[in-house]
Structure 1
């Protein structure tokens, strides 16, 4: 009884102390330490799958509701169910599905966020980045660097849909969000011929006097045809990694680093019938199926996928991959940012 009274008196004294120091904007670390520095990352976000065949009608319906010029970017956001209203697919990344109809132009602007485009359906449209146009085909991975003028256009006779991935939440955390409208018309100036960046930097060659002027790869279109050939060659050369399959990362040809400074991009081939061992890492990851079919199982939650489906895996959740037929999966995460800060961790088991 006496111990309980002493504890009660001590608790009351502490509560009174906490109330007094709160007036001066102070708080006791010892009441928050374990939540601030937990033994492992908290569960942020939910595993989720967007079936392309289910969301595609909504994407195309938007084309009859608003023009690309009116919307500036006609995009449906892929919003993680754990973050309603926050425009996040993971805790640190944004994703959406953008539609551009024949004859449309999505007007030029620039912003501090870095962006990737992954073409899901259609081809023959273009994006213009920092003075150069590139024609986009299905499966292509295209980069829009931070603060680069860019616009999109569709001179083909078919609609095109691509997935946008941006580091919007990451940039917002640092309160470094800036944007600028292009006041010289809907299209930014194109000053270099199509294919210039690939010719200069994408063939194992570099101009003698090249000096990097940014953190992104100077190659801003990684064509799927070349990516697919590389995956086939890797598969012929040996067995798949037991946890990753035949996995490649998109690289900056200047320094061999990641292609983007804040978003890590990878692609893998899973042979038909292949299943990976469990794996988890500190980066929440977004997978996009480019070919084939299979499933991602995230701590008991099995999510099947087919072509163009999108699945998000929260950070530090153990998952396995399986291919019911040969599959190609593109993925992106904030791994590169975590690595630069010395924060990235992975667990094989």
Structure 2
């Protein structure tokens, strides 16, 4: 009997064995080991840019089809093109563009998923978190921590659009999702605007305040004007070769990420500066807040203009080339990876 027949006989024997053990809901590890424990991360997600100038009309059209109250949250999900139908931009992160029209209220609710908002377009809206409202201004980074009551309203005369970032896929993977609707459409105001920022965001906290490391920040708004002033102030120093001038947002009370599952960053890339290639295990969502740049992701060049949203999957080499001075906001699942000892980076 030749080697070819022996190979065929072996294959048939194995197939018959796999069929037998399949009846007992078992399968052989050796057939899938390479995929389960790869030599390097292999994300099924792909890099992609959503050009805001192209999708804005689609977002506004949603405002003519369904009300914020009826939808509860009028959002167009940004689905990774390689993960369609899964409501995620990476395997662990969700992103969407939310629209609220003048006079509308997105009713109060709470959920175990943590959420961030980045205001892109329009003015006059607010977010309320546990009884405190904050006016939403372009570039503001706003948090609705897990299981906190929150609602949105638009008191102005213009539509307002912001980016939603949530840890929905992480919570879904853990089967730990809960949500609750409020009996009232919006929360009663319990504290004046700016109260949380004054109590917890000025290098001071109330004298009897103590926070566990895993708890989310009490500061739920990081104003754009403060972020930009900080970036401008450090821009006189030499830029980091891989990042330009990049800062991470923190919980002022602990120095940790504002949310236990998601990290957020802002970076200023000087005019004409080109960052060196970089990769990390946390897939990252970027938003161009000012200026414009070319991004090269695994050899693919993508153009970023104001309000564009881009995803860079895990372990994808990427770099930026700024035209004018450019400011990027980004968020990722880095805190989860670091807590589990999984996070890696490679500065090329």
Q: TM-score, normalised by structure 1?
A: 0.96
Match of 1:24 in 2: 24
1:287-330 Cα offsets, whole Å, 9 max, x none, are: 00000011111011111111111111111111111101100000
Q: 1:112-123, aligned counterparts within 5 Å? A: 112-123=112-123
Counterpart in the other structure of 1:287: 286
The residue that corresponds to 2:63 in the other structure is 63
Task: Please provide the CA RMSD for this pair.
Answer: 1.3
The alignment partner of 1:171 has SS state of helix
Helix, strand or coil at the partner of 1:63:
helix
Q: Distance in 1 between matches of 2:41 and 2:254?
A: 31
Q: For the residues of structure 2 that align with 1:10 and 1:162, how far apart are their CA atoms?
A: 58
> C-alpha separation between the residues in 2 aligned to 1:60 and 1:276?
35
**Aligned ranges 1:264-303 → 2 under 5 Å:** 264-303=263-302
Q: Contact 1:296 / 1:320 at 8 angstroms: preserved in 2?
A: yes
1:92-149 deviation digits (Å, cap 9, x = unpaired):
1111111111111110011111000000012231110011111111100000000111
Question: Counterparts of 1:53-202 in structure 2 under 5 Å?
Answer: 53-183=53-183, 185-202=184-201
Using the TM superposition, give the Cα deviation of residue 4 of structure 1 relative to its aligned residue in structure 2, in angstroms: 4.0
Query: Is residue 208 of structure 1 aligned with residue 185 of structure 2?
Result: no
1:35 aligns with 2:35: yes
CA distance in 1, matches of 2:171, 2:40: 24
Distance 1:66 1:17 in 2: 55
Deviation at 1:195, TM superposition (A): 0.8
In 1, the alpha carbon distance for the partners of 2:223 and 2:189 equals 20
The whole-number CA distance in structure 1 between the counterparts of 2:54 and 2:332 is 24
Unaligned 5+ segments in structure 1 are none
Deviations 1:206-254 (A, max 9, x none): 1110022762111000000000000011112x11110111000000111
Deviation at 1:5, TM superposition (A): 4.2
- Work out the CA distance in 1 between the residues paired with 2:284 and 2:120: 18
CA distance in 1, matches of 2:61, 2:26: 52
TM-score, with length taken from structure 2: 0.96
CA distance in 1, matches of 2:11, 2:310: 47
Whole-angstrom distance in 1 between the partners of 2:67 and 2:30: 55
Q: Which moved more, 1:326-335 or 1:122-131?
A: 122-131
Q: Which residue of 2 aligns with 1:317?
A: 316
What secondary structure sits across from 1:109 in the alignment? strand
Q: Do the aligned partners of 1:44 and 1:315 also contact (CA within 8 Å) in 2?
A: no
Is 1:14 aligned with 2:14?
Answer: yes
2: CA distance, partners of 1:80 / 1:8? 40
Give 3-state SS (helix, strand or coil) of 1:266's partner: strand
d(CA) in 2 for partners of 1:241 and 1:323?
14
Kindly report which structure 2 residues correspond to 1:207-286, keeping only aligned pairs within 5 A, or say none.
Answer: 207-212=206-211, 215-236=215-236, 238-286=237-285
Q: Structure 1, residues 15-56: CA drift from partner, whole Å, max 9, x if none? A: 322222221122221222112111011132111111111111
- Residues 66-116 of structure 1 deviation map (CA, whole Å, 9 limit, x = unaligned): 111111111111111111122111111111111111111110011111000
Match of 2:325, SS state, is strand
Moved more, 115-124 or 217-226: 115-124
Gap runs ≥5 in structure 2: none
